[in-house]
A and B are shown apart, each in its own frame.
Chain A
């Protein structure tokens, strides 16, 4: 990993939150013993005294209390571990924030096995996106790196209503350099070697997808990489258009295989009639502790896995075409 530039997604969030709280006295934040997780300094706590609430290790209360705060016309950020928001407090998110459409922004740390890494399964969260995607009206965003976290945080703050933003461990590689414009609800076309295939990716795995596409291009298989950072609102037409041009598709995400981005792309294929998809992600298994990069390799999310998946799907699209 030498040579890889790192920038913490947690710090990027907190710095952006600081800007938002400076400019809007009606923005507040609720932590659940997660002040240090988000690298909130004494200076931050002092500067925003009265607008920072740490309820301790009590996520259900954190979320329901946030709903009460938002009912008082405030913009409320709830920042703690992804799984404790989306699973421990799932019902509070659904019934008291989602159902009334209150203006609460959930920031979930340690997302994915890459984000949870050495902590093991209890602190690796790879169901969060499927859960949040099933709650009506919640904006769901998966940034790839710190720069995108900054842009996405500002974007969800501008939209009134519930949102979920996934962030990592704080040891997060810079994926897109130089930073590119983030548009909420719009796919980002990042690399275009040709139309032989498309890789849909998000989070850190976007980087591995870019590597895989570059490798494949050098082998004569020329495709593109499309970042699907927003799962709701999903850019259905954008995805369908890409698939119409490049029907051989692979989805790559740090999440359980069911219910998140790969599933969303599969739904677009099913409803728009174009494309064939291989989904990469956690294949219905519980992983384990380990270093972040090694874990991705061990659980089928290495560059080689992506390359093989592309070869498989392009082969199957070609043979299907051959039958006609």
Chain B
């Protein structure tokens, strides 16, 4: 359960993550702001309300797991881990630099709190299913959350995993599709015949919901419904906006991979103040 106070707290965290993201990418001189901003509210809800984790013991065996399958959005995840206390926020400016614990895409061996290496697209649902099955073998009850992009689910392995997860009744697997409608090459609907998305997951036997992926109340409610499904995995299609929170980045796909200038950074930070 959550309160309106929680929601206000989460909104402030999400703003902080967005400030961190644009700052990190500006300082790194490289990165993907658009996709990082579209998952900011989902990641905030998970790390600051939903997931049972212990920053003092990142490898705590009973913790909930998270896989950012669209690993290029990792500045948001790094910011969340830092603000949650897994490591110092002072590390954030080292993103993508030599010797940094913050790799260009998530690395489970280098960064405290990262549960899975990711970024090569399409693999998160499979990896998450493996973690759910490991919990079963180890008699643990944690949930595994995955965020996949929508363009990303063009990868065939996603559907191999979708099939297997239902077969194994992976009720503790909860997958968000970050449905921002854009991929590197342009609008998802123009690149491939992926749509409609949700009926495909439904056809595989998943519990399906569709929400506004920037509405924290909707995210929290959807997670509660998904957690209540014990015999089948859950797909939450989250309608999102690439670049969300910074109007000049929203719906401009050039921000898929683009570095904000100092002026653009200042404008973004003023908007997010």
Contacts and interface: CB of A to CB of B under 8 A. Distances in A.
Interface of A: 25-26, 28, 50-51, 53, 55-56, 58, 60-61, 64-74, 91-92, 95-96, 99-101
Nearest to B123: A64
Interface stretch (B12-20, B22-30, B159-167, B200-208): B159-167
Contacts of A51: 137
Nearest to B105: A95
Given A56-B164, A67-B130, A72-B130, 17 more contacts: A50-B136, A58-B164, A60-B126, A60-B156, A61-B126, A61-B157, A65-B129, A68-B116, A68-B129, A68-B131, A68-B132, A69-B137, A71-B116, A71-B134, A92-B123, A96-B116, A100-B109
B171 interface: no
Nearest to B161: A61
Contacts of A71: 108, 115-116, 127, 130-131, 134
Most buried by B among A26, A61, A74: A61
**Dominant secondary structure of chain B at its interface with chain A:** helix
A29 to B, nearest CB: 11
Contacts of A68: 116, 126-134
B117 interface: yes
A74 B131 contact: no
B138 interface: yes
A236 to B, nearest CB: 27
Contacts, number: 103
Contacts of A65: 126-127, 129-130, 133, 161, 164
Interface of B: 61, 107-109, 115-117, 120, 123, 126-138, 156-157, 160-161, 163-164, 167-168
B163 to A, nearest CB: 7
Nearest to A64: B126
Query: What 8 pairs across the A-B complex have the smallest Cβ distances?
Result: A68-B130, A72-B134, A64-B126, A61-B160, A58-B160, A65-B130, A60-B157, A68-B127
Contacts of A58: 157, 160, 163-164
Contacts of A67: 116, 126-127, 130
Contacts of B167: 55
Contacts of A101: 109
